[in-house]
Amino acid sequence: PKLEYLLTETRGRVGIVTLHRPKALNALCNGLFVELNQVLKEMDNNADIGAIVLTGSERAFAAGADIKEMKDRNFIENYSENFLGHWTQIINIRKPIVAAVNGFALGGGCELAMMCDIIYAGDKAVFGQPEIKLGTIPGAGGTQRLVKAVGKSKAMEMCLTGSVNLTAEEAERAGLVSRVLPADQVVDEAVKTAEKIANLSQPIVQMVKDAINQSFEVPLAAGLTFERRLFHATFGSNDQKEGMAAFAEKRKAKFTNN
Ligand code: HXC
């Protein structure tokens, strides 16, 4: 079926999803998110794809949840329908997702980027949580993931004022993004990184993503145990045998994803 709000393509083993609602700066309306969940799930289940790049336009990654669409909702509707609950389906995608962010990443747009595994930012990118100016609060991780990414003081400053935003460089310094690039190179660099990941052993890649994500959920000792068990488990794979044999034989490993 034709997509209304997204563009998709594959380059090599990388799936690229582009948010494409230019008239509304990629405001994340319900229809857009339904399509996004569906496309990401398809890519997750496609063995020809090893990693995913999520991007928007040069002007906006996404300017947040669609304010016009949600402005008349009431509490009972939100609660009984678990409004925007489907946004969190993204964190169940097992393949790594690299966000390539240009322009505005505000509100739900910033939260969406933070649900990805790696963030690359264009030099004009702006990260912010302006919800308080609308009389609401972040609802998809802005008060939780942002704290872990930039620390309490910056997260408080951003969420409490709604107007203190991070430039790309500030975001990199704070640890929210791992690289700042010229705007026209962000997607290509994200694809390069995704391609690197996509050519490694896919089950082992998944273990790394699982283990790092575990660090956000459990106390250190439990996270370390989880990591150690997965480390042990890698020795049950052919790819561990191949990877270590290739090193000893001074050749490039040929992984078979088993
Ligand atoms: C609906 C939006 C929108 C949004 C922009 N537009 N952001 N529509 N929801 N979040 C629309 C505008 O209404 C306008 O439509 C068009 O996109 C272009 O935007 P302009 O405002 O004219 O552009 P500009 O002057 O360049 O300003 C850019 C901007 C501003 C600073 C990004 O658009 C803005 O402040 N947007 C809202 C940002 C925000 O508050 N986000 C948080 C949303 S709440 P027309 O039809 O007039 O041309 C949220 C909660 C998440 O995200 C909860 C998750 C569970």
Over residues 53-70, the pLDDT tens digits come to 999 999 999 999 999 999
Query: Which pLDDT score is estimated for 1?
Result: 72
Active site residue 170: no
Distances (CA, A) of 96 to 4, 37, 77, 143, 206: 24, 15, 33, 23, 8
d(CA 27, CA 64): 5
Q: Is the pTM of this model over 0.90?
A: yes
- Helix or strand run (H / E) with residue 194: helix 186-198
Over residues 9-23, the pLDDT tens digits come to 999 999 999 999 999
Specify the residue with its C-alpha closest to ligand 1, atom 24. 25
Counting ligand 1 atoms within 8 A of each CB, the residue from 67, 73, 161 with the most, and so the one to mutate, is 67
- Note the ipTM here: 0.98
Active site residue 65: yes
33 Cβ inside 6 Å of ligand 1: no
Over residues 177-196, the pLDDT tens digits come to 999 999 999 999 999 999 99
Is residue 236 exposed (0-12), middle (13-18) or buried (19+ Cβ within 10 Å)? Answer: exposed
> Cα torsion for 10, 242, 224, 94, to the nearest 10°?
20
Q: Which of 27, 65, 100, 168 is catalytic?
A: 65
Over residues 91-136, the pLDDT tens digits come to 999 999 999 999 999 999 999 999 999 999 999 999 999 999 999 9
